[in-house]
Amino acid sequence: MEKNTVIKLKTFKGTLKPTTKVKDRENYWKLIGEKGIVIDEADFNPEKVLVVFEKNIDDFDLENHNPIKNSLYIDKKDLELY
């Protein structure tokens, strides 16, 4: 998946909802259906890319600890082209 590709999150960790109990601030499944842009490949895992979402992740009350605001490392299989 190339940089600047517009995507939509279709699943998170391969599912539409958590399969185990997760903290509310770690419930990234809330972002399913949201659009973003791929900005980089993950050097630590070739199956992941860094995505910057259009919406503010803080508005979903989610942890946002990556170096770029509103970005998350996401498995490529969880993304679809928009």
Instruction: Supply the CATH number for residue 76's domain.
Output: 2.30.30
Residue 65 domain-assigned (yes or no): yes
Q: How far is Cα 14 from Cα 56, in angstroms, rounded to an integer? A: 23
Residues of the chain above pLDDT 70, percent:
100
Q: Is the pTM of this model over 0.85?
A: yes
Backbone angles phi, psi at 78, to 5 degrees: -90, 0
Per-residue confidence (pLDDT) for residue 32, from 0 to 100: 98
State the residue range of the domain holding 18: 6-81
Q: Does some domain include residue 52?
A: yes
Q: Is 1 among the domain residues?
A: no
Determine the pLDDT at residue 48: 97
Q: Is the pLDDT of residue 67 over 90?
A: no
Neighbours of 16 (CB within 10 A): 9
18 Cβ neighbours under 8 A, 6+ residues apart: 27, 29
Residue 38 inside a domain? The answer is yes
pLDDT digits (tens, 9 = 90+) for 24-44: 999 999 999 999 999 999 999
Contact 59, 43 (CB under 8 A): no
Question: How many domains is the chain partitioned into structurally?
Answer: 1
pLDDT of residue 66: 85
What pLDDT shows up at residue 65? 85
